[in-house]
Amino acid sequence: MDSSVEVSSNLQRGIRLQAPLVDSLSCYCRVDSGSKTVAGARKFVPGAKLCIQPSDVLPHAHKGKNSRRERNRVQAPFLPGLPDDLAIACLIRVPRVEHRKLRLVCKRWYRLLAGNFFYSLRKRLGMAEEWVYVIKRDREGKISWHAFDPTYQLWQPLPPVPGEYSEALGFGCAVLSGCRLYLFGGKDPLRGSMRRVIFYSARTNKWHRAPDMLRRRHFFGACVINNCLYVAGGECEGIQRTLRSAEIYDPNRNRWSFIADMSTAMVPFIGVVYNGKWFLKGLGSHRQVMSEAYVPETDNWTRANDGLVAGWRNPSISLNGSLYALDCRDGCKLRVYDDTTDSWNKFIDSKIHLGSSRALEAAALVPLNGKLCIIRNNMSISLVDVSNPDKVVESNPHLWETIARKGHFRTIVTNLWSTIAGRSGLRSHIVHCQVLQA
Specify the pLDDT at position 395.
62
One domain for residues 231 and 174: yes
Backbone angles phi, psi at 163, to 5 degrees: -55, -35
Q: Is residue 82 part of a domain?
A: yes
One domain for residues 136 and 118: no
Specify the pLDDT at position 235.
96
Specify the pLDDT at position 73.
59
Q: Is residue 376 part of a domain?
A: yes
Choose the final residue of a domain: 68, 99, 124: 124
Continuous segment of H or E residues that includes residue 154: strand 154-156
Is residue 54 a contact partner of residue 131, using CB atoms and an 8 Å limit? no
Q: How far apart are CA 231 and CA 217, in angstroms?
A: 9
Report the CATH number at residue 182: 2.120.10.80
One domain for residues 419 and 333: yes
Specify the pLDDT at position 99.
94
Q: How far apart are CA 204 and CA 159, in angstroms?
A: 11
Q: How far apart are CA 131 and CA 95, in angstroms?
A: 12
One domain for residues 65 and 89: yes
Is residue 257 a contact partner of residue 248, using CB atoms and an 8 Å limit? yes
One domain for residues 207 and 326: no
This prediction's pTM? 0.79
One domain for residues 58 and 146: no
Q: Which of 145, 174, 141 is nearest to 157 (CA)?
A: 145
Q: Which of 76, 81, 61 is nearest to 107 (CA)?
A: 76
3-state class (DSSP) for residue 184 = strand
Tell me 304's DSSP state. P
Do β-strands 172-176 and 154-156 pair in parallel, antiparallel, or remain unpaired?
unpaired
One domain for residues 340 and 417: yes
Long-range contacts made by residues 252-256, C-beta under 8 angstroms, separation at least 24? 252/33, 252/34, 252/36, 254/36, 254/210, 254/211, 255/211, 256/211, 256/212, 256/213, 256/214
Q: Which of 149, 237, 146 is nearest to 185 (CA)?
A: 237
Q: Is residue 102 part of a domain?
A: yes
Q: Which domain holds residue 375?
A: 130-158+313-438
One domain for residues 363 and 421: yes
Is residue 338 a contact partner of residue 344, using CB atoms and an 8 Å limit? yes
Q: How far apart are CA 270 and CA 315, in angstroms?
A: 8
Q: What does the pLDDT profile of the chain (438 residues) look like in tens digits?
A: 554 445 444 434 444 434 334 333 333 333 444 444 444 444 444 444 333 333 333 344 444 555 555 555 578 899 999 999 999 999 999 999 999 999 999 999 999 998 889 999 999 999 999 999 999 999 999 999 999 999 999 999 899 999 999 999 999 999 999 999 999 999 999 889 999 999 999 998 999 999 999 999 999 999 999 999 999 999 998 767 899 999 999 999 999 999 999 999 999 999 999 999 999 999 998 889 999 999 999 999 999 999 999 889 889 999 999 999 998 899 999 999 999 999 999 998 888 888 888 889 999 999 999 999 999 999 999 999 998 766 666 567 678 888 887 643 333 343 433 343 444 444 789 999 999 999
ω into 315 cis (within 30 of 0): yes
Is residue 218 a contact partner of residue 188, using CB atoms and an 8 Å limit? no
Furthest-apart CA atoms within the chain: distance in Å: 94
One domain for residues 257 and 336: no
Neighbours of 328 (CB within 10 A): 17
3-state class (DSSP) for residue 325 = strand
Is residue 326 a contact partner of residue 354, using CB atoms and an 8 Å limit? no
Q: How far apart are CA 418 and CA 423, in angstroms?
A: 9
Q: Is residue 197 part of a domain?
A: yes
Specify the pLDDT at position 286.
86
Backbone angles phi, psi at 295, to 5 degrees: -110, 110
Specify the pLDDT at position 247.
98
Q: How far apart are CA 182 and CA 198, in angstroms?
A: 6
Report how many domains make up the chain: 3
Is residue 258 a contact partner of residue 214, using CB atoms and an 8 Å limit? yes
Specify the pLDDT at position 15.
40
**From the DSSP assignment, how many helices (H) and strands (E) are in the chain?**
10, 26
Do β-strands 362-368 and 371-376 pair in parallel, antiparallel, or remain unpaired?
antiparallel
Alpha-carbon distance values, 400 to 46, 95, 185, 392 (Å): 48, 26, 36, 10
One domain for residues 183 and 240: yes
Q: Tell me: the pLDDT tens digits for 72-111?
A: 557 889 999 999 999 999 999 999 999 999 999 999 999 9
Alpha-carbon distance values, 168 to 70, 172, 376 (Å): 53, 10, 21
Q: Is residue 264 part of a domain?
A: yes
One domain for residues 280 and 370: no
Q: Is residue 163 part of a domain?
A: no
One domain for residues 119 and 135: no
Is residue 182 a contact partner of residue 250, using CB atoms and an 8 Å limit? no
Specify the pLDDT at position 22.
39
